[in-house]
Structure 1
Amino acid sequence: MTLYKVKIDRRFLIDLCLLLIGVGLYALSVHIFVIPNTLASNGIAGLSIFMNFVFNINPFVTVLLVNIPLFIFGGKLLGKRELLLSIAGASAMSLWLIFFETLNISGVQYNHLIFAGISDGILSGIGVGIAVLSRGTLGGSLMLSLIMEKHLKIPIDRVLLGVDIIVLLLSFMTFLALPNFAVTLLSCLIFSKVTRFVGRKNYRQQVINKLKYNILRK
């Protein structure tokens, strides 16, 4: 069976399941850590919040306007299989958020805001890292990161963090309070590193080897 000239085999279905799980974890982190603690979202989600606040543009419209050109060029730069998985990932993001909202899962509010940032960075990083393992994306900044990593050899975590910093600065200059900005920046840093650790085997092995070396030295 093929779809969009992509073979729908066992490997594809396994990757699709990984992608859906990863997107689900990312959406869960947004629902239970980001929203209840008034943090800014990273990537395209953060940009949509900024555009809604400053220009009163519906977040869905912003996501659509950013993703359409990325999907058009992404199909040529990443390949049809990755594009098909990315369409599924981008669609799943909205569905997961609606699902968690319907379940009425209560968020976690911390007495110290920094713990919300750390929790979000770890959980969302694990989720997106799993999505990277599937060789799919959620669209937005993750798709851009994979394109730049593949063609310009720029590590995925650097691109993710660079996009997040730009979005955060825009948010800070308009509506985001300083403590929330600082905690969200920490969350984005953790998110980018955890994403690369989970999603890239070579980087994961480098980190583990370095930890082993430091432990043996002691």
Structure 2
Amino acid sequence: MHIIGVKIDQKFIKDLIVLILGVGCYILSVRLFVIPNLLASNGIAGFSVFMNFVFNLDPALTFFVINIPLFLFGWRLLTKRELLLSIPGALAMSLWMIAFEFMGIQGFQLNQIIFAGIADGILSGIGAGLVVISEGTFGGSLLLSRMMEDQWKLPIDRVLFGIDVVVMILSLLTYLAFPNFAVTLLSCFIFSKVTRFIGRKEYRLRVIERLKFNNLRKQKED
């Protein structure tokens, strides 16, 4: 079976499952840590929240409208397989939101919001990393970063964090308190690094080798 020239085989189904689970982890992190602790969302989702605050636009509508040109550009720059996996990835974001709300998952309001930021960065980064492994995206900043990585060889973590910095500054200037801004920025940095660590094998191996080297050097010094 083929869809737009993409073979729907066992590997495609496996990647689709990994993608949906990855999106689930990402949305779960928003539900558990971002919303209860009044942190800002990263990427295009965060920009949608900013547009809602400034212009009272529905975040879902903003996210949808921004994704249209991204998918059009992606059609020219990415493979058909990557794009075909990105469509259910984008849809899965809304479906997971509905599912977690139906399950009554409320999240954790922590006394020290920095721990919420760290936890969000790790869990959402794991989710986005799984999406990258699947060779799909969930639209938004991840889709944009994949295009820039493929076309201009820009590291995916730097693109993600660069987009997040712009969104966070806009949020700080409008509605976000400075402590929440600082914690969210830390969360975005962790998110970008964990995404690349999980999603890019060569980067993961390089980090592991560096850690091993540092441990051996420390043992020799001791």
- When normalised by structure 2's length, the TM-score is 0.97
Query: For residues 117 and 104 of structure 1, what CA distance do their matches in structure 2 show?
Result: 22
Shift of 1:2: 1.0
Deviations 1:62-88 (A, max 9, x none): 111110011111012111110010011
**Whole-Å separation in 2 of the counterparts to 1:172 and 1:210:** 36
- Paired residue for 2:216? 216
User: Alpha-carbon deviations, 1:140-163, whole Å to 9, x = none?
Assistant: 100100110111010000000000
Q: Distance in 1 between matches of 2:126 and 2:73?
A: 27
> Could you tell me how far apart the structure 1 residues matched to 2:76 and 2:141 are?
17
User: For each residue in 1:142-193, what CA deviation from the matched residue of structure 2 results, as whole angstroms up to 9, or x when unmatched?
Assistant: 0100110111010000000000000000000000000000000000000000
Distance 1:167 1:99 in 2: 27
Stretches of 4+ moved more than 4 A in 1?
A: none
Q: Secondary structure at the match of 1:110?
A: coil
Where does residue 204 of structure 1 map in the other structure?
204
Task: Report what 1:80 is aligned to.
Answer: 80
Aligned equivalent of 1:21? 21
Paired-residue identity, %: 65
1:40 aligns with 2:40: yes
Name the SS of the counterpart of 2:110 in structure 1: coil
Whichever residue aligns with residue 89 of structure 2, its letter is: G
Per the alignment, residue 169 of structure 1 pairs with: 169
Counterpart amino acid of 1:98? I
Cα RMSD of the aligned pairs, angstroms, is 0.6
2-side partners of 1:53 and 1:106: how far apart?
Answer: 23
C-alpha distance in 1, partners of 2:148/2:131?
A: 17
Query: Could you tell me how far apart the structure 2 residues matched to 1:133 and 1:214 are?
Result: 28
Task: Measure, in 2, the Cα distance between the counterparts of 1:150 and 1:50.
Answer: 29
Give, in whole Å, the separation in 2 of the partners of 1:120 and 1:133: 20
Q: Distance in 1 between matches of 2:85 and 2:12?
A: 9
C-alpha distance in 1, partners of 2:151/2:95?
31
Structure 1 residue 5: deviation in Å?
1.8
**In 1, Cα distance between equivalents of 2:77 and 2:160:** 18
Contiguous gaps of at least 5 residues in structure 2: none
In structure 2, C-alpha distance between the alignment counterparts of 1:196 and 1:203, rounded to whole Å:
7
The whole-number CA distance in structure 2 between the counterparts of 1:51 and 1:165 is 16
Give yes or no for the alignment of 1:59 onto 2:59: yes
SS at match of 1:92: helix
Match of 2:106 in 1: 106
Aligned to 2:156: 156
SS of residue matched to 2:171: helix
Partner amino acid, structure 2, of 1:32: L
| Partner AA of 1:88 in structure 2 | P
Deviation at 1:106, TM superposition (A): 2.0
Matched residue pairs, number? 218
Q: Which residue of 1 aligns with 2:96?
A: 96
SS of the residue corresponding to residue 60 of structure 2 reads: helix
Name the CA distance, whole Å, in 1 between partners of 2:148 and 2:179. Answer: 31
Output the amino acid matched with 1:38.
L
- SS for the counterpart of 1:173 is helix
Q: Find the aligned partners of 1:37 and 1:191 in 2 and give their Cα distance.
A: 17
User: C-alpha distance in 2, partners of 1:217/1:180?
Assistant: 38
